[in-house]
């Protein structure tokens, strides 16, 4: 079962009462897909004049003097020395290296904030709570906090609101120190100029915060009238920027057997030289000796018949199923696009079909399945050669 299938929510955002709101489905149920003008909403987000309602996302806090060192031992990320206000992310893996949680992370000097998927907020809090043992940490699910999304510096306006708590700036796709990339170098990555951010605000003030963003106060302006350039955006526009940036998401790209190498998620989600954590053996083994069995691709879909396949649809090469469509959206410039996870053996120029729609690949994770962190030769090879010469 995919992560998408597991998302069931009864949450309904108060912003769904705004004019033109059409509710999203799947992992984004409970907030708006769009407000009647998805193209204009995406353009507003891209230039910093849009705000996306992501209030269905979950928030967990960890407080106490041991919080940083404790989270460091559990996760793929090196958190020791994490300074207040610095944005990062971590992966929590199972014993076989499969991704279970992938929260955004920021510490404020008193507590560490974790932002995750709505249906996974409770399991994340429960998992962390049972791992506390005798350490001085407290885990709390923060239903009193809501998430808003912006891009291109739009969060600076939100940060002036009294209900604003903090803003996490997405590090993607900048390869963190101690990590490695399975995709292009940072400067050549299509996501390098897409600066998305998640702002935390007090949930009780969500409607007022959004209204304040849409009606910024300026000298001589009528503050009761929305600024013409400002727009409330739905998840359609937010997801279009994410897919354009090849940014993996827990609720869509991850299934029960996903390892981070397949999604190029090591680049921002893991440190290869930190201490032991659950799943580390798989991470190290695939980097040093193996290759990820699957790879993330971006698909350009034929939109000539105005019908698009649904997320979860089979990706076929000829009569063979070679993968699964994980995300799909209409982008205002690129047209119909999606992300898919396919077998690594699929040729980069293979003609693919997704639910009867032709698709062309744009390579995300390289076909060779290796990174520059891979040793020049297999560990221990020199010793074996010396043994053979004896």
DSSP code at position 258:
-
Residues 211 and 304 in one domain: no
Of 199, 225, 251, the domain-final residue: 251
Residues 135 and 240 in one domain: yes
> Considering the domain boundaries, does residue 267 fall inside one?
no
The mean pLDDT of 76-80, rounded to a whole number, is: 97
pLDDT tens, position by position, 132-149: 887 899 999 999 999 999
pLDDT of residue 133: 82
Confidence of residue 121 (pLDDT cuts 50, 70, 90): confident
Residues 339 and 228 in one domain: no
Residues 202 and 324 in one domain: no
Measured distance CA(341)–CA(315) in Å, rounded: 9
pLDDT of residue 1: 35
Residues 237 and 302 in one domain: no
Confidence of residue 377 (pLDDT cuts 50, 70, 90): low
Confidence of residue 20 (pLDDT cuts 50, 70, 90): very high
Residues 156 and 245 in one domain: yes
Q: Give the DSSP H or E segment for 106.
A: strand 104-107
> Considering the domain boundaries, does residue 355 fall inside one?
yes
The mean pLDDT of 20-32, rounded to a whole number, is: 97
Q: Map residue 136 onto helix, strand or coil.
A: coil
The mean pLDDT of 54-62, rounded to a whole number, is: 97
The lowest-confidence range among 186-200, 216-230, 239-253 is 216-230
pLDDT of residue 16: 98
pLDDT of residue 9: 64
pLDDT tens, position by position, 144-192: 999 999 999 999 999 999 999 999 999 999 999 999 999 999 999 999 9
Bridge-based pairing state of the strands 231-233 and 294-301: unpaired
pLDDT tens, position by position, 242-297: 999 999 999 999 999 999 999 999 999 999 999 899 999 999 999 999 999 999 99
Residues 131 and 10 in one domain: yes
pLDDT of residue 389: 41
What CATH number is associated with residue 237?
A: 3.30.1360.120
Of 191, 220, 251, the domain-final residue: 251
Measured distance CA(309)–CA(27) in Å, rounded: 17
pLDDT of residue 228: 78
> Considering the domain boundaries, does residue 168 fall inside one?
yes
Measured distance CA(44)–CA(154) in Å, rounded: 10
Range of the domain at 319: 291-371
Q: What is the pTM of this model?
A: 0.92
The mean pLDDT of 91-105, rounded to a whole number, is: 97
What contacts 24+ positions apart, CB below 8 Å, involve 34-39? Answer: 34/233, 34/234, 34/235, 34/236, 34/237, 35/231, 35/232, 35/233, 35/234, 37/231, 38/234, 38/236, 38/237, 38/240, 38/330, 38/332, 39/332
> Considering the domain boundaries, does residue 283 fall inside one?
no
> Considering the domain boundaries, does residue 273 fall inside one?
no
> Considering the domain boundaries, does residue 104 fall inside one?
yes
Confidence of residue 4 (pLDDT cuts 50, 70, 90): very low
Q: Are 15 and 232 in contact (CB under 8 A)?
A: yes
User: Computed over its alpha carbons, how large is the radius of gyration of the chain?
Assistant: 22
pLDDT tens, position by position, 322-338: 999 999 999 999 999 99
pLDDT tens, position by position, 347-376: 999 999 999 999 999 999 999 999 999 997
> Considering the domain boundaries, does residue 389 fall inside one?
no
Residues 221 and 308 in one domain: no
- Report whether pLDDT(379) > 90: no
- Report whether pLDDT(13) > 90: yes
The mean pLDDT of 78-85, rounded to a whole number, is: 97
What CATH number is associated with residue 299?
A: 2.40.30.110
Residues 221 and 367 in one domain: no
HSE on the CB side for 220, CA within 13 Å?
0
Residues 178 and 128 in one domain: yes
Confidence of residue 225 (pLDDT cuts 50, 70, 90): low
* pLDDT, averaged across the chain: 92
Residues 167 and 311 in one domain: no
Residues 59 and 157 in one domain: yes
Number of domains in the chain: 2
Provide the percentage of residues in the chain whose pLDDT is more than 70. Answer: 91
> Considering the domain boundaries, does residue 82 fall inside one?
yes
Those residues whose C-beta lies under 8 Å from the C-beta of residue 385, and which sit 6 or more positions away, are none
User: Pick from 54, 127, 116: which is nearest to 90 by CA?
Assistant: 116
HSE on the CB side for 59, CA within 13 Å?
25
Residue 209 exposed, middle or buried by CB count within 10 Å (0-12, 13-18, 19+): buried
């Amino acid at each position: 079962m995919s992560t998408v299938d597991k998302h069931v929510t009864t949450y309904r955002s108060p912003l769904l009462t705004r004019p033109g709101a059409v509710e999203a489905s799947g992992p984004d149920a409970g907030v708006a897909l769009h407000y009647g003008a998805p193209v204009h909403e995406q353009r507003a987000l891209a230039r910093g004049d849009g705000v996306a309602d992501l209030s269905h996302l979950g928030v967990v806090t960890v407080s106490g003097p041991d919080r940083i060192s404790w989270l460091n031992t559990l996760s793929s990320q090196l958190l020791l020395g994490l300074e207040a206000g610095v944005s990062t992310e971590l992966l929590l893996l199972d014993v076989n290296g499969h991704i279970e949680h992938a929260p955004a992370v920021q510490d404020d000097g008193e507590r560490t904030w974790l932002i995750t998927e709505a249906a996974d907020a409770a399991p994340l809090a429960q998992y962390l709570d049972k791992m506390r043992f005798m350490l001085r940490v407290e885990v709390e699910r923060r239903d009193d906090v809501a998430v808003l999304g912006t891009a291109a510096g739009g969060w600076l306006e939100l940060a002036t609101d009294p209900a604003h708590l903090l803003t996490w700036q997405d590090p993607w796709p900048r390869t963190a120190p101690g990590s490695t990339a399975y995709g292009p170098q940072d400067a050549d990555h299509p996501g390098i100029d897409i600066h998305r951010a998640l702002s935390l605000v007090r949930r009780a003030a969500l409607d007022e915060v959004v209204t304040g963003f849409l009606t910024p106060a300026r000298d001589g302006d009528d503050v009761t009238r929305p600024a013409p350039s400002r727009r409330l955006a739905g998840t359609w526009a937010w997801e279009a920027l994410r897919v354009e940036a090849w940014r993996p998401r827990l609720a869509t790209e991850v299934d029960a057997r996903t390892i981070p190498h397949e999604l190029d998620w090591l680049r921002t989600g893991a440190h290869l030289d930190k201490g032991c954590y659950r799943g580390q053996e798989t991470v190290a083994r695939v980097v040093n000796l193996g290759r990820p069995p699957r790879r993330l691709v971006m698909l350009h879909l034929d939109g000539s018949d105005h019908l698009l396949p649904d997320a979860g649809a089979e990706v076929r090469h000829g009569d063979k199923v070679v993968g699964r469509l994980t995300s799909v959206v209409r982008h205002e410039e690129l047209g119909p696009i999606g992300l898919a996870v396919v077998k690594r053996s699929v040729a980069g120029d293979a003609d693919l079909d997704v639910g009867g729609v032709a698709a062309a690949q744009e390579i995300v994770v390289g076909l060779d399945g290796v990174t520059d962190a891979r040793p020049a030769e297999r560990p221990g090879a020199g010793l074996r050669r010396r043994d053979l010469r004896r």
